[in-house]
Amino acid sequence: MPFHSHRLANGLQIIGEDSPAARSAALGFFVRTGSRDESADVSGVTHFLEHMVFKGTPRRTALDVNRDFDRIGAHYNAFTSEENTVFYAAILPEYIPQAVDILADILRPSLRGDDFDMEKNVIIEEIGMYEDQPMWSAYDHAKRTYFADHPLGNSILGTPESIRALTRDQMQTYFERRYVAPNITAVIAGNFDWQRFVALVEERCGVWSTGPVGRQGVRDTRGSGKFAVLTKNKVVQEHVFLLSPGPPVESPARYTADTLALAIGDDSGSRLYWALVDPGLADSADCSFHDYEGTGSFYTSFSCQPEQTQEDLEIVRQVLHEVQQKGITEEELQQAKSKIGSRVVRASERPMGRMQAIGMAWTYLHQYRTVDDDLKAFDAVTLKSIRELLDRYPLDQSTTLALGPLEKLILASSNGKK
């Protein structure tokens, strides 16, 4: 059995998947907290805290943290999403003890006032960087428009104003509430010794405080259904997003949803590829499925020249409408499955890929899933399950957002027909 799990007395969960042929190991701490867990007065605190975690502890300055990671040649980073904050490192097996020591140490950060003030600048720079990338900006606005007052609409980065207004004490309070042991999973994959790993984590994390965990506002949404055009004169291309509802992460229908999204909007050979990219009407077109706790969403997007946008939008709505009416063909289904199968296998060949996969499956579902479990789940998708999914989550009922130089865009009659 390549899978191991163990729960510490304070509630911290440890899981691992062995792969003796691997030459390295990937290690991650999954904290089940994200932008959806923020109240409006601390918008952006989760992501800012992720940065502050690297700023040091009683044992290490910020520079020590970076140096200690670099000393063991770790490939390390962290990310914050709507629902998770994940700290991770890929290392050679001989450095696992050091990697556990650093990660466990930094997850109890000092949050020193001068570091806090300095890092505010970096966060504001990061916000500025994304502002200059219209595709990101459009994605963020589309998400906010779709989710409206649903907590998933909260911005991950926050705004320069919300970041400036944030105090160190607010961050400390948030940290103490969300970084409790039962809200954290330590995950390892690749080449490692399980007993030694558990002992290392227990030694470092066994003293972490415990506390109630949970998440408020877990509910389904169908989206606001709004249509918004954001005019940005400095932007050259028009960037358009259409969001429609989908199944939540808890639902096995997520496999069907992933497969359908791929058939509609993969970057080659998909419906949108043939309708928009192949004929040169748009420089990119995509459809992907994002699942969250309690709800899910299909993100369909394209970017093109402003004068082409009206026609492209109608084509996309027509494609979505046709899929809604008739589903996809058996040929398209097989094609999508072949691609997914190959991607799942390739992602699993690196410890980092497996660490992320088992970490997410555990965080969301308290389940261990092998690569073959996932392959089987995708293999079991049928035209019938796609039909059922579409009946439940209509693709053509979307919330639409365009960002770019256009002042006006018309939503023709429903169903995308002229």
Partner 1 sequence: MPQEVFHHTFPNGLTLLAERMEHVRSAALNVMVPAGCVYDPPEHAGIASVLSDLITRGAGERDSRALSLALDNLGLDRDESVGSMHMRFWGATLARNLPAALEIYADILRRPHLPEEEMEAVQALALQDLQSLEDEPRQKVLIELRKLHYPSPLGHDRRGTPEGIESLSAKLVRAHYRRLFQPRGTILSVAGNIDWKPLREQVERLFADWEPGQELPLRLGTQPGKRSHIEKETTQTQIALAYASVPIGQPDYYAAMGAVNVLSGGMSARLFTEVREKRGLCYAVFANYQTFKDRASILCYAGTTNERAQETLDVTLAELKRLQEGVEQEEVERVQAGLKSSLIMQEESTSSRAGSLASDWYYLGRVRSFDEIQSAINALSPESIVAYLHRYPARDFTIVTLGPKPLEIRE
Smallest distance, partner 1 to C-beta of residue 42, A: 21
Residues that bind partner 1 (CB under 8 A): 21-24, 54, 62-63, 66-67, 69-76, 90-92, 118-122, 124-126, 128-129, 131-135, 234-237, 268-269, 274, 277-283, 303-305, 331, 334-335, 338-343, 345-346, 349-351
Q: Which of 354, 240, 341 is nearest to 300 (CA)?
A: 240
Nearer to partner 1, 125 or 388 (CB): 125
Smallest distance, partner 1 to C-beta of residue 215, A: 29
Nearer to partner 1, 12 or 333 (CB): 333
Nearer to partner 1, 213 or 281 (CB): 281
Largest CA distance in the chain: 66
Q: Which of 91, 99, 27, 28 is nearest to 65 (CA)?
A: 99
Q: What region, left, alpha or beta, does residue 215 occupy, with left being phi > 0 and alpha being psi -120 to 50 degrees?
A: beta
Nearer to partner 1, 90 or 180 (CB): 90
Q: From edge to edge, which strands make up the β-sheet containing 3-7?
A: 3-7, 13-18, 184-190, 25-31, 85-91, 75-80
Q: Whole-angstrom Cα distance, residue 284 to residue 130?
A: 19
Nearer to partner 1, 161 or 283 (CB): 283
- Report yes or no: 15 and 136 within 8 Å, Cβ to Cβ: no
Nearer to partner 1, 220 or 278 (CB): 278
Smallest distance, partner 1 to C-beta of residue 254, A: 20
Nearer to partner 1, 18 or 83 (CB): 18
Give the three-class secondary structure for 164. Answer: helix
What Cα–Cα distance (Å) separates residue 391 from each residue in 85, 216, 327?
Answer: 34, 28, 10
Smallest distance, partner 1 to C-beta of residue 337, A: 8
Q: What region, left, alpha or beta, does residue 29 occupy, with left being phi > 0 and alpha being psi -120 to 50 degrees?
A: beta
Smallest distance, partner 1 to C-beta of residue 21, A: 4
Q: Whole-angstrom Cα distance, residue 231 to residue 404?
A: 5
Nearer to partner 1, 103 or 198 (CB): 103
Smallest distance, partner 1 to C-beta of residue 110, A: 15
Smallest distance, partner 1 to C-beta of residue 242, A: 20
Q: In the structure encoding, which two tokens stand for residue 355, read together?
A: 């660490």
- Report yes or no: 141 and 131 within 8 Å, Cβ to Cβ: no
Q: Whole-angstrom Cα distance, residue 264 to residue 143?
A: 20
Smallest distance, partner 1 to C-beta of residue 350, A: 5
DSSP result, 335-373: HHHHHHHHHHHHHHTSHHHHHHHHHHHHHHHS----HHH
